[in-house]
Amino acid sequence: MPRGEADQSSNRSELTGLYAMLVAIHHLCIFYDIKEGQVEIGCDGSSALTTVFEWGPYLAHDTTDFDLVGAIHAIRKVSCITWSYRHVRGHQDDYSSELDVWAQRNVNMDSKAKAHLAVAQHTERHYDIEGEPWQVWIKHNKVTANIQMKLYACVQEIDSIKYWEAKQEQPDSLQVVDWVSIGRAMAKIPRTRRGFITKHVAGMCGMGKFMKRWREWDTDNCPRCGLPEDAPHVWTCKGDGTGDIWIKAIQELEKLLRTLDTDPTLLHILIAYLKGWYSGANIRYQPPREFQRLLQEQECISWKRLFEGWLSQQWVIWQQ
């Protein structure tokens, strides 16, 4: 497959098969000087069929399998053939012995594909695809999906690491943060909410410190308690009404984690240390041996950062 092994998917396999058929037929038309005709293609991948035959001529930056889809559209654009397609349910031989010609061909194709797989696993990989619009490579890996996100990550990664290292008391703690889970969580919330979170974590938002700097306020004092207000103070302010809000939030979090069948020890550690961080109390808890590394890593990252979403990778490992 013209893509890294870790990025392979069943849909890409279907697209590759459709691409190969279109290329073969296109070159046959060129060789035999065929000027018109009609071809119907059957495939058990409905998503791949939709991508190939129903999508418009322009590709979005976040199109998965950008290289293959672009190459397929390029071939269709110059082809003199009229294309049609039908979806054929796969593996019909598993529950029926009476198969029409399309089902029989699908079963036969699956059988040949499995036989070829043993050979393909030991052959050299190629990454050039005839007709693809252009290629993007990052650190010797070809990018075929999430192009915008990966380009941003590549361009900004070094400066971002330097920025957050300067903000951490222990810069090495960045290496044990579960960035993958953070990325997944951020991707599931609205863009406006992501901006809010990022500003608060970076400490550059509409609170006393910056409101005074921006000349919006005469003082940087917290309107609830009167103390100097920066982003971390917003989370731990002890002004009027904040205690009730905190207690309710912790209770809701604990209820949610119990509903999600969180490991009891992990649940105890999380709630106890969040309460300790908020109150400023020194929590003295000796966890079971297997959880000691988790506690050490999270303390290295800091419990303030955990409140902002920076979890040690150990949380996922032990919950699993």
Return the residue matching tokens 């590759």. Answer: 16
Please report whether residue 70 resides in a domain.
Answer: yes
State which residues form the domain around 93. 5-136
Q: Which amino acid is residue 220, in one-letter code?
A: D
Question: What is the predicted pLDDT for the residue at 6?
Answer: 59
| Domain-embedded: residue 319 | no
Q: Answer whether residue 227 is part of any domain.
A: no
Tokens 């905190």 belong to which residue? 246
Structure tokens at 303: 């419990």
The full DSSP string for 30-73 is: HHTT---EEEEEEES-HHHHHHHHTS-S---TT-TTHHHHHHHH
- Contact indicator for 85, 45 with CB cutoff of 8 Å: no
- DSSP, collapsed to helix, strand or coil, labels residue 166 as helix
β pairing state of 37-43 and 81-87: parallel
Q: Is residue 146 part of a domain?
A: no
Question: Considering the domain boundaries, does residue 49 fall inside one?
Answer: yes
Q: Which of 228, 227, 235, 190 is nearest to 209 (CA)?
A: 228
pLDDT at 3: 52
Structure tokens at 71: 């190459």
Give the chain's radius of gyration (CA, Å): 28
In a domain, 46, yes or no: yes
Number of domains into which the chain is organized: 1
Instruction: Outline where DSSP puts E strands in 44-184.
Output: 81-87, 136-138, 141-143
Question: Phi first, then psi: what are they for 87, rounded to 5°?
Answer: -85, 125
CA atoms within 13 A on the CB side of 295: 19
Q: Is position 11 within any domain?
A: yes
- φ and ψ at residue 179, rounded to 5 degrees: -65, -30
The pLDDT, as a whole number, for residue 210 is 95
Three-class DSSP category at 15: helix
Helix 10-31 vs helix 46-53: angle between axes, to the nearest 10 degrees? 50
- Residue 104 inside a domain? The answer is yes
d(CA 271, CA 251): 9
75 and 153 Cβ atoms separated by less than 8 Å = no
pLDDT of residue 44: 94
Amino acid at position 88, single letter = V
Mean pLDDT by 10 residues, the chain (320 residues): 64 92 94 95 93 80 85 92 94 90 92 85 81 87 85 89 88 91 92 92 92 95 95 92 94 96 95 93 87 94 93 94
The dihedral region occupied by 215, where left means phi > 0, alpha psi between -120 and 50, and beta the remainder, is: left
Question: What tokens appear for 14 in the block?
Answer: 């279907």
Question: What CATH number is associated with residue 38?
Answer: 3.30.420
Q: Are 196 and 231 in contact (CB under 8 A)?
A: no
The β-bridge relationship of strands 141-143 and 136-138 is antiparallel
DSSP string spanning 173-233? GGGGB-HHHHHHHHHTS-HHHHHHHHHHHHT-SSSHHHHHHTTS-S--B-TTT-SB--HHH
